[in-house]
Structure 1
Amino acid sequence: MAAPTFALNHMVAPQMPLGAFFKLGKTLGIHQFEIRNDLSGNAILDGTSPYQVRELAAAEGAEIISINALQRFNEWTPAREEEARSLATYAAACGAKALVLVPVNDGSGKLEGERQGNLRVALKGLKPILEQAGIIGLVEPLGFQICSLRSKKEAVDAIDATNGVDRFRLVHDTFHHELAGEPELFPAMTGLVHISGVDDAQVSVDDMRDPHRVMVTDLDRLGNVVQIRAMLAQGYVGPFSFEPFSPSVHATSDVVGLVKGSMDFVRNTL
């Protein structure tokens, strides 16, 4: 079985300026990165141009695998289309390979029939925008019960139905996979895997939220290693990107040690 290729999502160290973040990865032997458009005081929100981002990445030999994310992508409105165009243009200009697509997650748009229809409309609208920018759309189902797209199978069916196989891939997120309780993996349709662990022994699976998400350790309750092993065994060859949202991770003074410890644990346990 192939060894996993690790990547870093900027959520590992959201307060770190982009150039320092790329340097951090290089220190760890990581060369693939996800940048975000939701970090105030940091690129992209602070007005950093895509060309500056491209230069910062080039200086450290960094590959930008995605911009994370177009939110509420499956609620396709003129405003959403405009936002998608702007993000896709930015992604292409900064050298990012893909744009992560996050569904509506507030309890709306969930009804049977409605959610499948909304998803197809959005994929049809997104496809020409992504084609023009020359990037991939990474559809990320979320496991939360209030989410309008929980099922990877539903996402794959919609991608097939809209002839989107050349333009869309899935994000397999180990946290959301566990919460959704959907057994199927779709390695051939997966373009990116997000990894994070939950160590808190008290919280029930249904009550798990982003702040519970830490690095992957031997206390992990999400079965990260089992999921990673299965994805590799079934032929997934893409990156495994660390995406912890816990304030405890963001507050650490030793992010290198934290990431290295997690990489070592995963490699040794596989």
Structure 2
Amino acid sequence: MIKRALNQKTAPHLSYEAFLDLAKTLGCVGVEPRNDLGRGLFDGISPPEAGAMARERGLRLLGLSEVYPFNDWSAERAHAIEALIDAAAESGAETFSLIPRVDGKYTEDGARQKVLCRVMREILPMLDGHNLLALIEPIGFASSSLKEKVELVEAIEAVGGLTKFKLVHDTFQHVIAGGGRIYPEYTATVHISGISDPQRKLDETLDAHRILVDRGDRCGTLDQISAFLEAGYQGPFSFECTSPRVQESATLEDDIRRSFEFIEASFAST
């Protein structure tokens, strides 16, 4: 069994409470609530109460999402990060997520690395006194200011952030970035999803078409999960699906359960 988890992007139409109930029913270890679903984080429930609701169901608040674009630094960005840190601390969440800009800016070699390190140094003191990790997710789009996980690992080491920063490995983003090495020891969460459309190029245009993992998956999700498990990774694998086909399904619970079971059966047979 993998450690099942659920990102709220996969079930954005459910209330926070219903989302927690879904995760519990599916045997998840925890959840990732979001603040970008067109309504307040936790549906406006206070962070302490939201955290208690999760723990009452035996669930961890694995992380809160998100601040974007975190590496376009400003007073507004700093305030957004501080607010998410406060919500994470008050709710008992373990991490919060930071997403790099993907608008084609800060993509020049040399400049993008300097910007990344400078912003991470700004964030480091915000984490003082908190038992909390800042997670950064490399995005594989051509327009992304942070595609390569190796650059993030180098930045974590350069700023002395080994105990404060980790990365999110996303199986879709990994593929469209060209694949390459994974970094289990630097990874706190693995986001999983699938692309099964055989006709379309694997690129950023398919981001909105990410579905549950099935035998037609073209992202090599099973191979990526296997690589993490073989390397000793013990963190969660969290479904983050963006396709309305998944999100609006009338049988969402059964759909997710079948996909988790498909993944686990694939490893049981090897």
**TM-score interval, smaller chain:** over 0.9
> For the Cα contact (< 8 Å) 1:139–1:169, is it kept in 2?
yes
Structure 1 stretch 194-203 or stretch 124-133: which is displaced more? 124-133
Q: 1:41 to 1:139 in 2, by over 3 A?
A: closer
SS in 1 for 2:112: helix
1:11 aligns with 2:9: yes
* Equivalent position of 2:123 in the other structure: 126
> For the Cα contact (< 8 Å) 2:99–2:137, is it kept in 1?
yes
* Equivalent position of 2:34 in the other structure: 36
> For the Cα contact (< 8 Å) 1:131–1:167, is it kept in 2?
no
**Displacement of 1:228 after TM fit?**
0.3
TM-score by length of structure 2 reads: 0.95
* Equivalent position of 1:77 in the other structure: 74
Q: How does 1:32-71 map to 2 (within 5 A)?
A: 32-41=30-39, 43-44=41-42, 46-71=43-68
> For the Cα contact (< 8 Å) 1:170–1:192, is it kept in 2?
yes
> For the Cα contact (< 8 Å) 1:196–1:224, is it kept in 2?
yes
* Equivalent position of 1:26 in the other structure: 24
SS in 2 for 1:109: coil
* Equivalent position of 2:161 in the other structure: 164
**Displacement of 1:48 after TM fit?**
2.6
Matches of 2:24 and 2:40, distance apart in 1: 20
Structure 1 stretch 26-35 or stretch 158-167: which is displaced more? 26-35
> For the Cα contact (< 8 Å) 2:176–2:204, is it kept in 1?
no
Provide, for residues 179-214 of structure 1, a one-character-per-residue CA deviation record: whole Å limited to 9, x for no partner: 001310101111110000001111101254321100
* Equivalent position of 1:239 in the other structure: 236
> For the Cα contact (< 8 Å) 1:18–1:42, is it kept in 2?
no
Aligned length: 267
* Equivalent position of 1:212 in the other structure: 209
Matches of 1:6 and 1:58, distance apart in 2: 16
In the alignment, structure 1 segments of 5+ residues that lack a partner are none
Amino acid at match of 1:255: L
In the alignment, structure 2 segments of 5+ residues that lack a partner are none
* Equivalent position of 1:190 in the other structure: 187
> For the Cα contact (< 8 Å) 2:3–2:29, is it kept in 1?
no
* Equivalent position of 2:109 in the other structure: 112
SS in 1 for 2:238: strand
**Displacement of 1:37 after TM fit?**
0.8
SS in 2 for 1:192: strand
Matches of 1:19 and 1:230, distance apart in 2: 34
> For the Cα contact (< 8 Å) 1:151–1:182, is it kept in 2?
no
Q: 1:42 to 1:251 in 2, by over 3 A?
A: farther
Matches of 1:124 and 1:52, distance apart in 2: 32
> For the Cα contact (< 8 Å) 1:8–1:30, is it kept in 2?
yes
SS in 1 for 2:101: coil
Matches of 1:231 and 1:88, distance apart in 2: 28
SS in 1 for 2:129: helix
Q: 1:259 to 1:238 in 2, by over 3 A?
A: same
**Displacement of 1:42 after TM fit?**
5.2
1:224 aligns with 2:221: yes
Provide, for residues 18-74 of structure 1, a one-character-per-residue CA deviation record: whole Å limited to 9, x for no partner: 111111111111131000010123534x53321221132133122100001111111
1:153 aligns with 2:163: no
Matches of 1:227 and 1:208, distance apart in 2: 22
* Equivalent position of 2:93 in the other structure: 96
SS in 2 for 1:36: coil
* Equivalent position of 2:137 in the other structure: 140
The percent of aligned pairs where both chains have the same amino acid is 37
Matches of 2:62 and 2:261, distance apart in 1: 22
Matches of 2:128 and 2:2, distance apart in 1: 29
Matches of 2:88 and 2:173, distance apart in 1: 25
